[in-house]
Amino acid sequence: MTQRTTTTATVTSLARGSISGRFRPCDDCTCSPGLLSRQGRRASLFLRQIESSRRKTHSHSHSRHSISGGMDNSSIYSSDSLCQSNKEVNTSQRLHALRNQMAKHDLACYIVPSEDEHQSEYVAAIDQRRSFISGFSGSAGIACITRDLLNFNENHHEGKSVLSTDGRYFNQGLQELDFNWSLLRQGVDHTTWQEWCIKECQDMSEGLGNKEVKIGVDPKLFSYQQIIQLQNLITNKLIDTNAKVILVPINENLIDVIWKDFEIVPEREKNNLLMLHYEYHGEEFQSKRSRLIESLKEKYAKDIDNASHTFIVVALDEICWLLNLRGSDIEYNPVFNAYLLINDSDETILFCDNSYSNEIELFFSENNIIVKPYTEIWDYLKVYVEQLNAQSSNIDNSIFLPDTSSWQMVRSVEDIPYKIIHSPIDFFKSVKNEIELGNAHRAQVKDAVAIIQYFSWLEQQLVEKEALIDEYKAAEKLVEIRKTQKHFMGNSFETISSTGANAAVIHYAPPRENSSMIDPSKIYLCDTGSQFLEGTTDITRTLHFTKPTQEQMDNYTAVLKGNLAIERLIVPEGTTGYSIDAIARQFLWERGLDYRHGTGHGIGSFLNVHEGPIGIGFKPHLANFPLQVGNIISNEPGYYKDGEYGIRIENDMAIKEAEGLQFGDRKFLKFENITLVPYCKKLINIKMLTIEEIKQINGYHARIWDKLVQFIQPQSITFKWLKEEVKPL
């Protein structure tokens, strides 16, 4: 196939994610939001059934009560509540079927993670097992299901089920989980999901006279490090007891066994690959490969002269970065399902089922890249281990595994020398070269033009024309505008288009059906991003179209001050995002406020919108990864008042050297805000700002005008809107 065909297929698949959404179930629907959301798989017959049911049961609008005190807030703008149905969805049959499978494997507990076998944050529809069993559709969380061994009724297995997630999803979890589930709030509740599983199994073991009780997991879906941590915790928790709890691998995924009995199981995507050319990546494959091999030798094999080493690349974005290829197997993420095996000879093996063009075939041939079927990785490793064990050679053979490797990956090579390391590619791809940085700036200009066109259109529709526009249709309009930009490849995540109380749901996504109308008298939060060939964006703006309250202005300004403080920072080399997180929160802390998410994350170069290893936040692992020149990182403090409104301001920043500053051998770093979308003037309380902050905002707005005015028609509403928004404070 031609390059044109490949590119078109990729664009279509990526853009598909831009127009997908969630819809609320009607009262008669037994499916959870998570089950209805996966990849927009909505048969027209099913939609007609939903609409028919809704017409029968909703001849009048529901009367609704405000979460914040019982006041009736119903209006033409619909409800600010995420769910309109008071009836709990029902996962009982799914859990019963799962417990039947657990009984066949003699399991007391089964754990269902969010991740796929590559430990991806966002996964394909076929890997959304946790969403299937729990009904919770958030991107992060883990489901734990027990089978009560003290209940001897073989025909009706009973047990408990919990869903553990982080602060981004507390509200969403409470709204989407049905009566079968309890929510464990990470960082708030005293019990972790690991402790919960161990305690439940300990009680069962002791109740059965200290009989051995099993916790089962799919070994492909858990990293080896997670397994070691869980096994150590089991040992420590039971050290003073006679209970026996063991962790066992279950190669047959139990969710996959039952899935087909309830839904049409989605197929695994195998979309066409896309080749990036030099003007988009700035470093060819052989150069990247050589850097990888040299890094491995320098860090781990410099004292071994007669050695042969192999490295397995597991993370999908690392494979894409290394090969300068992109895919569309996972919604919003330009990656494809694959494993990559590299040895320090000239051989590279790609395990992948995707089709590719003649140009990519030539690239594989010229670079000695052998392509094998995706699932053949496991047979290959088995033979590889057998061959090494059969050799009587003086060569010291060993294999390097990244610390994201699955338990199954480690089990496959445990009979030969292996070493678990943090993948050097993770560091390499986080440091953008000059071409990638230049492209990132170009991507930001494109997205800023689209976003301000959208905001100006939305304000005119809501205020001047008094139009009724719901959250979902508004987000679709933004995609429509973005498509006019050259090299737009789709959204980088599902747009958070949220009005009023919905904005307090940190990772809210507007449903396709019955989405709330955007109320111009309330706060509107839009968190949105694009994938361009030039780069990836992630931008959040909080707007008010009429007159905000003083409280909203004050809290918005406190969030803005934190954002500005991070941007102004100059820090010495070696500084981590862990050590600067508090700087963004200080102005909220002064008011007794905070937010339950990190302040920033790394951003890929036409890759995943959340990219490791760097970040700004309170998670301890971030203390291990210093910020570096060439990183692109988000800056997104926020505040969320449950039931009323949410505020978040997010810019993307490039980390640069602070020229002329040096302490001994230590240089300094600074942040460049590369996002070009103005702040909301209506929400700024100028009295709370310092002279320095006012100057910073005015300078930023002047730069936006200078960068964007050339791309906007002078007589357009966008021109007038932007001119007003960037006027000096």
Q: What is the DSSP string of 51-94?
A: HHHHHHH-SSPPP---TTTS-----TT--SSS----SPP--HHH
Q: Which two three-digit tokens encode residue 76?
A: 């033409």
- Can you tell me the mean pLDDT for 137-151? 93
pLDDT at 393: 56
Q: What is the mean pLDDT of residues 358-386?
A: 96
The residues, ordered by sequence, that sit 6+ positions from 104 with a Cβ below 8 Å of its Cβ are none
Using pLDDT thresholds of 50, 70 and 90, give the confidence band for residue 661. Answer: very high
Q: What is the pLDDT of residue 57?
A: 38
Nearest to 126, CA basis, from 38, 5, 247: 38
pLDDT, tens only, 52-75: 433 333 333 333 232 233 333 333
Percent of the chain with pLDDT over 70: 86
Mean of pLDDT over the chain: 88
Provide the H-helix boundaries in 483-548.
none
The stretch 73-98 carries a mean pLDDT of 58
Report whether 480 contacts 457 (CB < 8 A).
no
Read off the pLDDT band of 395 (50, 70, 90): low
In this structure, what token pair is assigned to residue 519?
Answer: 């109320």
Position 453 confidence tier, pLDDT thresholds 50, 70, 90: very high
Residue 49 has pLDDT above 80, yes or no: no
Cα 638 to Cα 243, 519, 670, 678, 692: the distances in Å are 45, 21, 22, 17, 21
pLDDT in tens, 701-720: 999 999 999 999 999 999 99
User: How many Cβ atoms from other residues are within 10 Å of residue 43's Cβ?
Assistant: 9
User: By CB neighbour count within 10 A (0-12 exposed, 13-18 middle, 19+ buried), where does 435 fall?
Assistant: middle
Q: Which of 237, 31, 217, 214 is nearest to 142 (CA)?
A: 217
Distances in Å between the alpha carbon of 205 and those of 211, 268, 456?
5, 39, 63
Is 427 a residue whose pLDDT tops 60? yes
Domains of the chain: 3-57+89-259 (3.40.350.10), 274-422 (3.40.350.10), 434-725 (3.90.230.10)
Quick one: DSSP state of residue 695? H
* Segment 503-541, tens digit of pLDDT: 999 989 999 999 999 999 999 999 999 999 999 999 999
Give the span between the Cα atoms of 320 and 288, in whole angstroms. Answer: 12
pLDDT digits (tens, 9 = 90+) for 604-652: 999 999 999 999 999 999 999 999 999 999 999 999 999 999 999 999 9
* Residue 6 predicted with pLDDT over 70: no
Distance CA(578)–CA(625), nearest Å, equals 9
Nearest Cα neighbor of 20 from 378, 307, 330 is 330
Record the tokens describing residue 266, joined without a space.
Answer: 């989605």
pLDDT of residue 387: 85
| 306, 267 contact by CB (below 8 A) | no
In one-letter notation, the amino acid at residue 454 is Y
By the 10 Å C-beta count (0-12 exposed, 13-18 middle, 19+ buried), 6 is classed as buried
Residue with the two structure tokens 């020398």: 417
| 686 has pLDDT over 60 | yes
Split at pLDDT 50, 70, 90, the class of 392 is low
User: For residue 100, which of 204, 89, 92 has the smallest C-alpha distance?
Assistant: 92
* Contact call for residues 110 and 266 (beta carbons, < 8 A): no
CA 34, CA 22: separation in Å to the nearest integer?
Answer: 8
pLDDT tens string 545-599: 999 999 999 999 999 999 999 999 999 999 999 999 999 999 999 999 999 999 9
Would you say 407 and 222 are in contact if contact means Cβ atoms under 8 Å apart?
yes
**Whether the predicted pLDDT of 666 surpasses 60:** yes
Q: For helices 550-568 and 691-708, give the axis angle rounded to 10 degrees.
A: 80
Tell me, what's the pLDDT at 11? 37
How far apart (Å, rounded) are the C-alpha atoms in residues 659 and 444? 24
Question: Whole-prediction pTM value?
Answer: 0.87
Helices (H), 432-470: 434-459
Q: Is 439 helix (H, G, I), strand (E, B) or coil?
A: helix
SS3 sequence, 231-244? HHHHHHHCCCCCCE
Reply yes or no on whether the pLDDT at 440 is more than 60. Answer: yes
pLDDT at 380: 95
Query: Are 442 and 535 contacting, i.e. CB atoms less than 8 angstroms apart?
Result: yes
What pLDDT was estimated at residue 300? 80
Percent of the chain with pLDDT over 90: 80
Write down the pLDDT at residue 533. Answer: 98
- Name 489's Cβ contacts closer than 8 Å, sequence gap at least 6: 10, 11, 14, 15, 334, 530, 531, 532, 533, 606
What residue has token string 């709204």? 175
Q: pLDDT, tens digit, for every residue of 289-309?
A: 999 999 998 888 654 445 568
What residues form DSSP beta bridges with 213?
A: 245
